[in-house]
Amino acid sequence: MSIYKTAMKYMGIVLVLLFTLSGCNHKEHAPAAAAGDEAEPIKVTAYSAKSELFMEYDPPVAGEKTGFLIHLTRLADFKPVTEGGLKMVFTPSAGEPVTFTMPAPTRAGIYKAEATLANPGKYSLKLITDGKGFADEITVSEVQVLNKGEKPAEGHAGGKGAIAYLKEQQWSWTSW
């Protein structure tokens, strides 16, 4: 009887392993991209002496609203910025700067903004925080605003094939 129990035990382990491994081979296939599908989001990481910026946004098109998802981390303790406003100052190569302001993060460390830039071209972007006890400025050297119908240049930081690792996961691990 003990040989029977041992065999059943190992058979159970083998079955669990087979089910687990068969799940690892499953690949989800994304539908083929249609001709008019949107481009992959642009991802930017930048640093100042006090903070880290991770930002995602769709390629901006002149005259259309673009959403920006901005993650800000304090480098002193690697925690998210939890208070204070954020200004986004877009400065074109020629012309006057355009400013968008968010009064506070949507969630800890995360600001969401919608910006409409009227003219195509290259802009520099300055992000200015004014949080309680935390003020900083981070510069992103280039944001390319496209003409309507124009496609973004190949090779932007889209992250194809990268493993998604959210800033919120990093922030939660720093509290261990």
Q: What is the pLDDT of residues 92-147, one digit of tens each?
A: 988 899 999 999 999 999 999 999 999 999 999 999 998 777 899 999 989 999 99
Its pTM stands at 0.69
Average pLDDT in the chain: 78
Residue 110 tokens read as 């995360």
- pLDDT at 7 (0 to 100): 52
- pLDDT at 163 (0 to 100): 42
Residue 9 tokens read as 């035990």
Tell the burial category of 168 from Cβ atoms under 10 Å away from its Cβ (0-12, 13-18, 19+).
Answer: middle
From 13-22, 34-43, 63-72, 88-97, the region with the lowest mean pLDDT: 13-22
Architecture per CATH, domain 42-151, reads as Sandwich (2.60)
pLDDT interval class at 28 (50, 70, 90): very low
* Dist CA 84 CA 134 (whole Å): 8
The domain locations on the chain are 42-151
Cα angle: 128, vertex 154, 161; to 5 degrees? 85
